[in-house]
Amino acid sequence: MTQPIGLWPLLRPQRYQLLGALLLQIVSAVGGVVPYLAVVELGRVLLAPHAPDRHRVWLIVAAGAAGLLVRLVAGALASAVAHAADSSLQLSLRRLLARHLTDVPMSWFSRQSAGGLNQVVQNDVNDLHTLVAHTPGELTSAVVVPGLALVYLGAVDWRMTLVALVPVLVGLVLRFALATERRKRDEREVDAAMGRIAVAAVEFVEGIAVVKTFGGAGRAHRRFVEAADDFAERFLRWVGSAAWLASLATLVLSPMVVLLVVLAGGATMIGAGALAPADLLPFLLLSLALTAPVAALAHGLDNVNAARRAAGRIGAVLAEPPAPRPAAPRVPDGHLIELRDVGFTYDGEHPVLRHLDLVIPPGSKVALVGPSGAGKSTIAQLLLGFLTPTTGSVRLGGVDLRDIEPSVLYRRVAFVPQDVRLLRTSVADNIALASSSAGRDEVVAAARAAGVDAHLSSLPRGYDSVVGEDAGLSGGEAQRVSVARALLLDAPVLVLDEATAFADPVTEARTRAAIDRAGEGRTRVVIAHRLATIRDADLVLVLSDGRIAERGTFDELVAADGLLAAMWRAQREDATGAAAAPTRGSLL
């Protein structure tokens, strides 16, 4: 298991900005104490038995005003630098995560959820905001202000200083009593419960159309409700486990209790003749400066702990090792596809593919059919290099895919998935993802070949319309944009996963004909559920239980009256209600 990256390594690029903000905050804290000291000194001067020195009075007032000005200016600069560091950190972290996620193996994503990744990329990165932009200032003030106040009060009277420290010490003991291992464990459980809410919410929203269609809202949102209830239960247990300690700490550090302790101690000492009445004034004013930062200190430490947990989740993603790169990259010689004794398992225990041997000659049309779970999509992902075989090898042009650089492989193998994901950018950019150097004419030609040019041209801004804003695309249209992207790549190998699944019959026929024309001379591996689309295949492979159960042409397998024939009869009966003789047609 990889070791997650910690908090401080993530903050290292912003260390100079954070150090600058820290120094400015120290100056600001010192400046903030000066007005209090000025008021104390002014009170002692005015309460003195002899007439006050006017020059000294004005000097004290000026010092207090200067301290206030320094406090405001340095504090504003510290906040600006800290927020700049926060913005830079969030931008760099999201860029780093985006780059890293493009390098991790595709199999890693099958173990993740959209909500979990959103928690890391969005929420956890946001959770570092308070730590970077606010916590350094709060913690600095929590240390500098009481430190300066203690030095001054100690110079006035060390005995009264000890009296003023009593609420502070009691409050600190109570605060640190909250930081138990059980509390930390409860905090981690609360964070995990919040993550489960995020995952359940994303899954519910993404599936809302199906939920509403089939009337399963009660069942579908149950997971979200259960996650919310679990979070509430854990949160209340976490808060309630130390509510009385937190309340007592807040009471002890409250201004009323602090002033009561100082007044009681001061009155006792004045009555005993051990303290001059005027010397009680600095303790009444500055004792609050001793206690107020304690609450900020506790809050700041909570922010640090929350940020460390968020950084742990970010670091766990960044620590995920990238997909292995070939030590000595090789370039395929041609486009012959070979699967040699290929086996594959996702969990190490249950094989999805078993001892698969297959040769696909260049330019041939091969169809993969079979029931769900037979291994069709797994083979497609192996051909694309998304997965690595557990045993055996997948070769292109005589070279194991593990020895081919991904950039070289993806120029030779194009993929049209069934579940299309388009980026929130223009439709032209979505098509041009396949070739960054492609011009507008090439993009339009690819869209025309995929049968989607007419619709894209009719959008409010044509090909410049943005998906999700003014580019309304149906499932079939989005799939044809994906087909256009693959055609633009002009790769010699096409892997199509039910590439016309969302198209109507007329559009499906046009798209298949377009791909047939554009695909002349290319190797095409077609995953098909509708058998009518693969009747012209050079080779049909029927998969069952991770093995090739049947292989041959469509007509040969129908005549053999095996698995394919049974599937074909079932689909014909579903479509027409009666058996019909198979006829030959076009192929994807």
Q: Which tops the pLDDT comparison, 235 or 389?
A: 389
Domain that holds residue 435: 420-490
Query: Higher confidence at residue 430 or residue 417?
Result: 430
Question: What local confidence, expressed as pLDDT, does residue 1 receive?
Answer: 47
pTM comes to: 0.62
Coil, helix or strand at residue 49: coil
pLDDT of 69: 94
Q: Do 221 and 204 meet the contact criterion of CB atoms below 8 Å apart?
A: yes
Per-residue pLDDT, 559: 92
Q: What is the pLDDT of residue 393?
A: 93
Strands 493-497 and 413-416: parallel
In the chain, the amino acid numbered 459 is: L
Instruction: Specify which residues 399 forms β-bridges with.
Output: 396
Of 147, 474, 434, whose CA–CA distance to 286 is shortest? Answer: 147
Give the span between the Cα atoms of 470 and 543, in whole angstroms.
Answer: 42
State which of 463, 490, 517 marks the end of a domain: 490
Q: Which of 298, 318, 338 is the last residue of a domain?
A: 318
Q: Which residue has better confidence, 487 or 237?
A: 487
Last residue of a domain, one of 268, 290, 318: 318
Provide the pLDDT confidence category of residue 579 given band limits of 50, 70 and 90: very low
Average pLDDT of the chain to the nearest whole number? 80
Helix axes 158-177, 255-271, angle to 10 degrees: 150
Residue 423 DSSP symbol: -
Instruction: Please tell me the total count of domains within the chain.
Output: 2
- Among 228-242, 320-334, 370-384, 407-421, name the one with the lowest average pLDDT: 228-242
Task: Give domain status of residue 234, yes or no.
Answer: no
Domain-located, residue 412: no
* Band of pLDDT at residue 582, cut at 50, 70 and 90: very low
Of the candidates 502, 492, 524, the one whose C-alpha atom is nearest the C-alpha of residue 588 is 524
Residue with tokens 């779970």: 373
Is-contact 127 13, C-beta < 8 A? no
CB 198 within 8 A of CB 115: yes
* Tokens, residue 576: 């027409």
The tokens for 137 are 């200032």
Mean pLDDT of 440-468: 88
What's 293's domain CATH number?
Answer: 1.20.1560.10
Whether the Cβ atoms of residue 148 and residue 230 lie closer than 8 Å to each other: no
Least confident interval from 92-101, 247-256, 358-367, 381-390: 247-256
Do 249 and 135 reside in the same domain of the chain?
Answer: yes
| Same domain membership, residue 292 and residue 173 | yes
